[in-house]
Chain A
Amino acid sequence: MGLGKNSGLYEKRQPVFPKAVDGRFRRFKWLVMVAALTIYYVTPWLRWDRGAYAPNQAVLVDLAHRRFFFGPIEIWPHEFYYVAGLLIMAGVGLFMVTSIVGRAWCGYACPQTVWTDLFQHIERFVDGDRNAQLKLAKAPWGPAKAARRLTKWSLFLLVSVLTGGAWIFYFADAPTLAREFLAGDAPYVAYATVALLTTTTFVFGGFMREQVCIYMCPWPRIQTAMMDERTLIVTYKDWRGEPRGRGRRPATLDDLGASPEKLGDCIDCNQCVAVCPTGIDIREGPQIGCITCALCIDACDQVMTKIGKPRGLIDYATLEDCAAEKAGRAPRRLSKVLSHPRTLIYFAVWGGVGAAMLFSVGDRARLTISAQHQRNPSFVQLSDGHVRNGYTVKLRNMEGRPRAIEVSVAGLPGAVLWTDGGSRAQATDRLTATVPADSLAKLPIFVVAPLVDEGSESFEFRARALTKDHPETAAVRAEFEGPEEQ
């Protein structure tokens, strides 16, 4: 990275002009990039029919109504642990992948990498490959350079706006919001979000690039904790490459003062450095700037093929493999690499959380009842000697249709209840409330009972959904307070 070459307190960014390269990792990177961008841009436009009372967007984070919709799964705020579970899975999954292949996330799937990659392709499309870019960067400003720069930045900006624009569609009905957005009727927070994400995409992807990875991102500092000597990392096999030869022909080697037998496979062509998106030299060993995108492997393999040497001078290898290879032994098989205890533990945690969540999603209740006892006063003595307690009973109908729900009390002899401003004259032993689709109904309920004993008694509020096709019941315990014995 050449951090030491500057004498000031602060260092100017050294621009990086990565060269285009082709190879198996480059093609894989294309694949991941297309998949990631497709998922990101297309997901909010997928539809999912949930019936008349719920939105029909497949993935929707409905902050206004505090509902998350993921296809057939609907998450209520009190079920936020599913989201927490997903985050834990994402985290542990990242640890697991890191323990197997190091910074694969950084190299292929991180948004910073994906958009930087996209922007670099645009850059090559406008300015040409590395050499042309270098030349253009050194060239004085003139109409031609200005035109190219303007074209490039406009394309950057276009991508940035589309990127920022796509994000908001996850939070509202996409077609509606798109129309409102273009008409200028969207909520200001939509415009603010688009503006913010456009700015960050434009600046981070277009200009800061590797600076984000090296200086701003905490991940490279943390990731080493998940890696050990059995983790695949991008490695330059110095025992094979060194000492470096400058040319391909043995004739020139004498001039360098080295005998052909002693000379390593590396011909110091610098292709690995030229293609690196963060501008590092992998031959200096593992370092914070390396995002393990493996483009240097592609570049080096090409060169090795050309000069008739075996591929893999730069390769994904574990430190154990390196030691084995240096000593002349064969590297371990991939299955052996994967059966690493650390990786298996990560997988067990990841799979455990996933299995628990799947089970829980399949098993969760769509009708719940809760009862909050009125505390002040905790009971009311009525003129006929009966005692009245007040409760706020909450019925949660988590199905996408309105349901008639019957509330009754059990375990309190002679108890009657009423609600909704009715009077005691209308009290019954059960009452029915229609709870709208996908919502919570709060019922102020009065329970009157002849008090058998002094003090408090425990009883149960029961809720029963009166739907024929899917009857569901729920119950909650509540306390019935009465006067203490004098």
Chain B
Amino acid sequence: MADNKSIDQATGTETVGHEWDGIQELNTPLPRWWLWTFYASIVWAIAYTVAFPAWPLVSRATAGVLHWSSRGQLDQELAADAARKAPLLKAIAATPIEQLPGKPQLWQAAVEGGHAAFRNNCTQCHGTGAAGSKGYPNLNDDDWLWGGDLKAIQYTIANGVRNPDHPQTRTSQMPSFGRDGLLQPNEISDVVAYVRTISHQQPANAEARRGAAIFAANCAACHGATGTGNRAVGAPNLTDSIWLYGGDEASLTNTVTNAHYGVMPRWEAKLGPTQVKMLAAYVYSLGGGERAPVQIAGAPPKR
């Protein structure tokens, strides 16, 4: 190229020497600092691969002389986060649950921590929005089998329901009236009619009137004379609109015939008391929580 310099007449600019169909390329070079910027980039790139993990080897990459790695950084950040949260968790652990709502900062942290724990451990049965499904209670509503104040919720989560390996667990047993032959099918349909009457799903009729006597003899012991249930034994309120296993005739007949035994693990064994406390706070905050018998100082703020 340097050998045969040819100058373009029109512009006075040297050409690079290529020619194609009589068209020649002018040599209009870039400024020199551009070149040096390019060299500097190369030097930077080399320095970078020496300083940081870069070259792939057989089982791992070069570590880099700065010993930085994204994994290491994550570990650091997680450790820093745990250290940041430690005093808060300690304070939550030390505060009795009924006093948590009076301390907005602790309450908020507990609700958020409980939400995280809920997502990991509870959504499988109760759903991500805690709305439950047939057989798994909806935790948003105001109907509680075992009590809906903070302490009752905490106790339920800690000890589980019908958990076989622990004496503290919540246990209730409804007899399988049909399967065990305690009631005849016609008696069952009578009592179902009665239950549907007291829950305002159908008007009273002869069937229901017969069922009232059967109810008083067989069911009132747990569900109460008026069917409003008994939280001490986890007997549901049969007069409201909420049905764990369905309130239609077929579902109720099935329930009375076979009975249901929903099971929940004893979470304290797995999560420890602090997380259970936070879970209880979260469940309480979903909108259906009941006032604890103990008067709470201040209204509990949510989020």
Contact = CB atoms under 8 A, between A and B. Distances in A.
A195 B302 CA distance: 45
A225 to B, nearest CB: 22
Given A12-B32, A376-B128, A385 B299 contact: no
B141 A380 contact: yes
For the residues of B in contact with A, the DSSP-based class is loop
A423 interface: yes
A388 B287 contact: yes
A384 interface: yes
Interface in A379-438: 380-385, 388, 390, 419-425
Given A10-B30, A377-B140, A380-B131, A421 B285 contact: yes
Contacts of B287: 380, 388, 390, 446
A388 B286 CA distance: 11
Given A420-B299, A421-B302, A377 B33 contact: no
Interface stretch (B5-13, B67-75, B204-212, B266-274): B5-13
Contacts of A471: none
Interface stretch (B54-62, B87-95, B172-180, B288-296): B288-296
Contact of A4 (B28, B127, B131): B28
Contacts of B31: 10-13, 211, 215
Interface size class of B (residues with CB under 8 A): 35 or more
B203 interface: no
B241 A3 contact: no
B142 interface: yes
A263 interface: no
B262 interface: no
Quick one: which of B31, B107, B289, B303 has the most chain A CB within 10 A? B31
Contacts of B164: none
Contacts of B303: 442, 444
Interface in A281-308: none
Nearest to B128: A376
Contacts of A13: 31-33
A4 B128 contact: no
B29 interface: yes
B138 interface: yes
B29 A3 contact: yes
Interface string A194-223: 000000000000001001000100000000
B212 to A, nearest CB: 22
B113 interface: no
Contacts of A385: 200, 240-241
Given A7-B2, A13-B33, A381-B141, A420 B302 contact: yes
Nearest to B130: A377
Interface in B213-249: 237, 240-242
Interface in A4-19: 4, 6-13
Contacts of A423: 289-291
Contacts of B242: 381-383
B131 A377 contact: yes
A375 interface: yes
A157 B7 CA distance: 43
A3 B35 contact: no
Listed residue (B29, B34, B143) with the most chain A CB atoms within 10 angstroms of its CB: B29
Contact of B127 (A11, A376, A380): A376
Interface in A242-299: none
Contacts of B2: 7
A376 B129 contact: yes
Contacts of A211: 31, 33
A388 B34 CA distance: 67
A376 B14 CA distance: 73
A229 B30 CA distance: 31
A456 to B, nearest CB: 17
Contacts of B130: 377
B300 interface: yes
Interface in B129-164: 129-131, 138, 140-143
Interface string B38-68: 0000000000000000000000000000000
Nearest to B14: A4
A3 B299 contact: no
Contact of A375 (B27, B107, B129, B289): B129
A446 B286 CA distance: 10
B142 A377 contact: no
Given A377-B140, A380-B140, A444 B302 contact: yes
Contacts of A215: 30-31, 34
Interface in B97-113: 101, 107
21 contacts: A3-B13, A9-B29, A9-B35, A11-B30, A12-B31, A12-B32, A211-B31, A211-B33, A215-B31, A377-B140, A380-B138, A380-B140, A381-B141, A382-B241, A383-B143, A384-B240, A388-B140, A421-B101, A423-B289, A423-B291, A442-B303
Interface of A: 3-4, 6-13, 208, 211, 215, 374-377, 380-385, 388, 390, 419-425, 442, 444, 446
Interface of B: 2, 5, 7-8, 11-14, 26-35, 101, 107, 127-131, 138, 140-143, 200, 237, 240-242, 285, 287-291, 299-303
The 5 closest A-B pairs by CB, nearest first: A376-B129, A4-B13, A377-B131, A383-B240, A421-B300
Given A4-B11, A381-B138, A390-B140, 7 more contacts: A10-B31, A13-B32, A211-B31, A381-B141, A381-B241, A383-B241, A384-B240
